[in-house]
Structure 1
Amino acid sequence: MSETIPSPGDIDRLDLVIVGGGLAGGLLALALTRMAPGVRFLLVEAGKTLGGNHRWSWFETDLAPENAALLSEFPLKSWDEGYDIAFPGYGRTLGTSYRSLASEDFHRHLANVLPGESVLLGKRVAELDAGGVTLVDGSRIGARRVVDCRTFKPSDKLAGGWQVFLGQHIRCHEPHGLTRPVIMDATVDQLAPHGNGAAYRFVYVLPLSEDEVFVEDTYYADHPRMDREQLAARTRAYAREKGWRGEVIGSETGILPVISGGDFDGVIEDLRIPGVAVAGSRGGFSHPLTSYTLPFAAANARDIAALLAECPETSAEDLAFFCEERARRHWRETGFYRMLSRMLFEAADPERRVNVFEHFYGLSGDLVERFYAGQSTWPDRFRILSGKPPVAIGRAMRAMVSRGKPFRMEKTA
């Protein structure tokens, strides 16, 4: 990997520039290396490492087998004995296998397997167009195609709320005793930090080794404000309550959109750069309610690589159209989950949002698996919406036909 721009001779021969070395861009680079080795690409990342500072986790059933194979190259943390959830009214164990990938392992593996000089680190892109990219320092990198894999860009044409979280990696003085992840412990108080009101809140726990544990404080709120100090204090307090005493050896934070509606055509028009494909969360490739991006990033990576392998003469415009049509299809297919997001943010009072999830997790494990994979069947949808409603019926009906509450986009603390 390099911080030096390739020579003009190399640049002229590039088939593809990928902008953004996060999950979507990194997986696309890996898929091209495996499936379309004749494609000369350059992955341009503004940071010093690929993947940033994240931990991505998913259920094994979230991925089609061919996409799971792409992820299996990485050194994953795996739990095949299921996972736990806990709510004020009940707790249960579900049997689905769970996987997790740390960004440092993501970076390390890609550094070992991607072709030499195919990654450019520490360089920020100023402009993208169908013929290449221009860096902030004025350098030009020409290419036959460009794929934009940068992060989500908030838009006033979208509606919804936010998922805010801070996680800490703790090395305990003694074994913590956990054998399974705790995906959702919602027995904690349902308050956002510093008097910002109620919000659906839970703690997420991964046992990374017998004496290392990852503890994350997460809440769904109407605003994207984050108080890092208070979230860190709450995370440490939770660990102490469980008897996990030790030192914090790593941390991460995130503020992710929970999309409940909006004018997607308008978003596409605002984002569109003629001849530039958009393949990451910026293009709408996420689960509207959970904010998951990994299953969609893996699918896009493989399908784009397959297209270029089978049709090496694919033009920049055709690739951009290919990705835009995928984004439109994804928006159509995830409408049910946006409706559930409206239920969460519009039909449920903040202090009662926990009831929505408590109701959902009381359903069958197979239904939960399909929900997280974004593959809920019509019987699943009926089952989720049937029974004693966790919100007032009148408000639920209004939320079902609402366009969603516009994003509140205050600056984070």
Structure 2
Amino acid sequence: MTAPDADIAVLGGGLAGGLIALALQARRPDLRVLLIERDDRLGGNHVWSFFATDLDAAGTALVAPLITARWQGYTIRFPRYTRELGSSYNSVTSERFDAALRASLPEGAILTGTEVTAATPTSVTLADGRVLAVGGVIDARGAGTLPHLTGGWQKFVGQMIHTARPHGLERPVVMDATVEQLDGYRFVYCLPFGPDRVFVEDTYYADSPDLDVPLLRERIAAYCAAAGWTVAAVGGEETGVLPVVAGGDFAAFRAAVDEGVAQAGIRAGLFQPLTSYSLPDAVRFALSVAASGNLSGTGLLAASRAWGEAHWRKGAFYRMLTAMLFGAAAPADRYRVLQRFYGLDAKLIERFYAGGTTMTDKLRILTGKPPVPISAAIRAITGGVAFAPLGPVATDGAPA
């Protein structure tokens, strides 16, 4: 009997696929894992960020080699207040992601510059005609579309800015919503990677996925000028259009996308419905794969389906909040919802991003003076507002 080309083939070297390969190497070094990526570099061109409280000890250990920068605390700015929170914040850049994976995985485990044209639970067909026989397949190539799901969009352009003089930021500004509110809820996100290097991202919670990159570049330049930063150079740029999910038919979604092969990442719906935040879910799923007792193609498919269904059920509260944000607030007033949320207890905010919102947290979020009209909120969460179907998705992850 001919030996397989690999025990597990992971399709897509973005965040979800790279973490699965890393987890398998750490927990199951006896397996031959093949990570296949169509581009020349793993991780694309992204910055992923997360709070230290998003991950348990195992998750923290898995991502530790990937972290480019750590900060103790971060800033939030809204028209009514500025707030400093103490949570530890971390960022991973694609450059570090690519280098760490190449250092961790054995020679021959990474195949870049290679397009996958077809896959079954036990085979992968490449664009050059080769057919690889494998023990199991996980498809983590990002989502071209999200059929049967509805909602809105989080879209952004981010640039790594090199300033002529020190910019003066000591900690991240995770949301600066004091900027003019355009095309939905708008905020600017700033990460100080060095005294004269800051990542600046212009982000929108919008009804349309249309992204005017030249316009957002102009707005980033204007934001830097208003902050007193002279731009010496732009070191890199990322763009993205991510789903923000208000509802949908998850069973129909899975039937349309999995095509009999295990799925991971955005294409599997594994992200926080309101924030599009994907790193914690990618870490958890990667560790669950590495701990699985059945890594055959059919075993991986069953496990990924069960994981996705459980994640969908767990996300019901966040989808309801998405419906309220997009359906009950006028686009220019959506910031009021986040302005109220970020005035709540810091631990509640941490649990929210980690996907661990408690029943007490939910009651606290929903009680008090509402930032939107009550009648509009009820209409939005009871189906009185029609949300757009989610079409093409441009990237597999981003800071939230």
Give the structure-2-normalised TM-score.
0.95
1:102-181 equivalences under 5 Å are: 102-181=93-172
Aligned pairs (5 A) from 1:263-412: 263-274=249-260, 276-307=261-292, 311=293, 314-402=295-383, 405-407=387-389, 409=391
Task: Spell out structure 1 runs of 4+ moving beyond 6 A.
Answer: none
Contact 1:78 1:98 in 2 (8 A): yes
Distance 1:74 1:269, change over 3 A: same
Measured in 2, the distance between the counterparts of 1:367 and 1:404 equals 30
Q: Percent identity?
A: 47
Tell me what 1:209 maps to.
Answer: 194
Residue of structure 2 aligned with 1:98, choices 64, 89, 102:
89
Structure 1 residues 210-266: Cα deviation after superposition (integer angstroms, max 9, x where no partner): 111111000010110001101011001101110111221111111100011100000
- The DSSP-based 3-state class of the residue aligned with 1:15 is strand
State the SS of the aligned residue for 1:399. Answer: helix
Matching residue within 9, 12, 18 for 2:10: 18
Preserved contact between residue 5 and residue 132 of structure 2 (Cα < 8 Å): no
Look up the SS of the partner of 1:97 in the other structure.
strand
- Over 3 Å counting, the alpha-carbon distance change for 1:94 and 1:118 in structure 2 is same
Residues 1:156 and 1:281: Cα distance change in structure 2 (over 3 Å) = closer
Q: How many positions carry a matched residue from both structures? A: 392
SS in 1 for 2:45: coil
Tell me the secondary structure at the aligned position of residue 12 of structure 1.
coil
Gaps of 5+ in 2: 395-400
| Letter aligned with residue 212 of structure 2 | D
Structure 1 residue 138, shift from structure 2 partner: 1.9
User: Whole-Å Cα distance in 2 between the matches of residues 330 and 404 of structure 1?
Assistant: 23
For the residues of structure 2 that align with 1:410 and 1:261, how far apart are their CA atoms?
17
1:43 matched to 2:35? The reply is yes
2:235 is matched by which residue type in structure 1? I
Gap change, CA 1:75 and 1:411, over 3 Å in 2: closer
CA–CA distance in 1 between the matches of 2:209 and 2:168?
34
Structure 1 counterpart of 2:174: 183
Aligned-partner Cα distance in 1 for 2:295–2:275: 34
Moved more, 131-140 or 200-209: 131-140
The amino acid across from 1:252 in the alignment is: E
**What amino acid sits opposite 2:48 in the alignment?**
W
* Contact preservation (8 Å) 2:145, 2:393: no
What is the letter of the counterpart of residue 60 of structure 1?
A
1:33: which partner in 2?
A: 25
Distance of 2:323 and 2:84 partners within structure 1: 28
Whole-angstrom CA distance in 2 between matches of 1:273 and 1:185: 41
Give distance in 2, aligned partners of 1:136 and 1:294.
29
Query: Structure 1 residue 411: deviation in Å?
Result: 10
Judge conservation of contact 2:8–2:134 (CA < 8 Å) in 1. Answer: yes
Which residue of structure 2 aligns with residue 219 of structure 1? 204
- Tell me which amino acid in the other structure corresponds to 1:405: F
Question: Could you tell me how far 1:343 is from its partner in structure 2?
Answer: 0.4
**C-alpha distance in 2 between matches for 1:411 and 1:114:** 29
SS at match of 2:388: coil
One-letter amino acid of the counterpart of residue 134, structure 1: T
Map of 1:3 onto structure 2: none
Distance 2:325 2:59 in 1: 31
Q: Distance in 2 between matches of 1:19 and 1:288?
A: 24
Q: 1:46 to 1:261 in 2, by over 3 A?
A: same
CA distance in 1, matches of 2:311, 2:169: 37
What is the CA–CA distance in structure 1 between the aligned matches of 2:390 and 2:347, rounded to whole Å? 35
Q: Using a 3 Å threshold, how does the CA distance of structure 1 residues 285 and 404 change in structure 2: closer, same or farther?
A: farther
2:352 alignment partner AA: F
> Could you tell me how far 1:409 is from its partner in structure 2?
3.9
Deviation string for 1:197-220 (max 9, x for gaps)?
Answer: xx1000000111111111100001
- Cα deviation for residue 281 of structure 1 reads 1.2
**Runs of 5+ consecutive residues of structure 1 not aligned to the other structure:** 1-8, 193-198
- Point out the more displaced range, 370-379 or 152-161: 152-161
CA distance in 2, matches of 1:277, 1:327: 10
Amino acid at match of 1:120: L
Call closer, same or farther: CA 1:181–1:388 in 2, change over 3 Å.
same
Question: 2:386 & 2:43 partners in 1: Cα distance?
Answer: 31
Q: Distance in 2 between matches of 1:121 and 1:163?
A: 29
Residues 342 and 404, structure 1, Cα contact 8 Å, conserved in 2: no
How far 1:119 sits from its partner (Å)? 0.8
Deviation at 1:13, TM superposition (A): 4.1
